[in-house]
Structure 1
Amino acid sequence: MSTPIRKIIHVDMDAYYASVEQRDNIELRGRPVAVGGRRRGVVMAASYEARKFGVRSAMPSSIAARRCPDIIFVRPRMDVYAEVSRQIRSIFRSYTDLVEPLS
């Protein structure tokens, strides 16, 4: 009898909040997006398009706007991100109950 092969899948949902916003709003696709505050706030997540300009998470929004003048700031929708996360975990659990979310 052979030993079953163990498989581990690591999923890093990088730029997650910005990706959800681009998924839900076609006008944001392909454009630099930052989820977070506009004036004194910070960037919670930056799309890949914004990252090309050096915009990163936890960066003050004022610096992000200077680095990327065309950036679009979007208010966070934590309830939506939580629901999408639940949907994704549900898909994972349809394959195995050994799912370990870290954040």
Structure 2
Amino acid sequence: MSPHDDHHAHEEEAEGLRKIIHVDMDAFYASVEQRDDPSIRGLPVAVGGSSGRGVVAAASYEARVFGVRSAMPSSRAVRLCPDLIFRKPRFEVYREVSQQIRAIFLDYTPHVEPLSLDEAYLDVTADLKGIGSATRIAQEIRRRIKADTQLTASAGVSYNKFIAKLASDQNKPDGLCVIRPGEGAAFVAGLPVRR
């Protein structure tokens, strides 16, 4: 957890600012495959086509250590990680799990903006449970996702979607990062520049 996690709701309630959570499932497709096949847990896994012009759709964190990334040609992925285990995508399963996760989101807010099967923005400015703290809501959602799906999610909490999305990448996997009003500019300025 980030050092920002231990602050409470009153620090999040700046006048007129929204409370946004960006939830991003960790290596979603690969994690579902590892969950469903215990024999490949802890091993480098790629979801995608393994032959010819195959492309990696998702890579487990164990595969990422070797430099394997999504959208990478499978032939290059195998050169980087000769022991890479390929699984064919099971989109119907991923959609089902995604619906399970979305149902959890909807317990807290009707304002859910899915970006893909594995990530979404939630506006919890006025949450349905009256919790008030976006940080506490994010913690609760992550706990429920883990309990209900045996998968981990990372979350970013902030006052706009842009910062929340950047924050969700900070403590992956299974992490939480909170950027409060007044911290956004310094947070963005401190991020590494990527090509």
**TM-score scaled by structure 1?**
0.91
1:21-55 deviation per Cα after TM superposition (whole angstroms, max 9, x unaligned) = 11111111110000000112000000000000000
Give the superposition deviation at 1:7. 2.5
Compare the two structures and name the one with the higher strand fraction. Answer: 2
Structure 1, gaps ≥5 residues long: none
Q: Percent identity?
A: 71
Which digits, 9 at most, give the CA deviation of each residue in 1:51-97, with x for residues without a partner? 00000111111111111011100010000001100100001101111
2:59 maps to 46
Say if 2:57 is the partner of 1:68.
no
SS at match of 1:101: strand
> What RMSD over aligned residues (CA atoms) do the two structures have, in Å?
1.5
What CA distance in whole angstroms lies between the structure 1 residues aligned with 2:57 and 2:95?
15
Equivalent of 1:24 in 36, 39, 52: 36
Gaps of 5+ in 2: 1-14, 117-195
Match of 1:80 in 2: 93
Larger relative contact order (CA 8 Å, sep ≥ 6): 2
Which AA in structure 2 matches 1:8? I
| Ranges of 4+ aligned residues in structure 1 off by more than 6 Å | none
The one-letter code of the counterpart of 2:80 is R
Q: Helix, strand or coil for the counterpart of 1:9?
A: strand
Q: Distance in 2 between matches of 1:27 and 1:4?
A: 50
CA distance in 1 between partners of 2:85 and 2:100 (Å): 26
Q: Given residue 30 of structure 2, which amino acid in structure 1 is its aligned partner? A: A
Cα distance between partner residues in 2 of 1:4 and 1:63: 49
Report the residue type matching 1:53 in the other structure. Answer: F
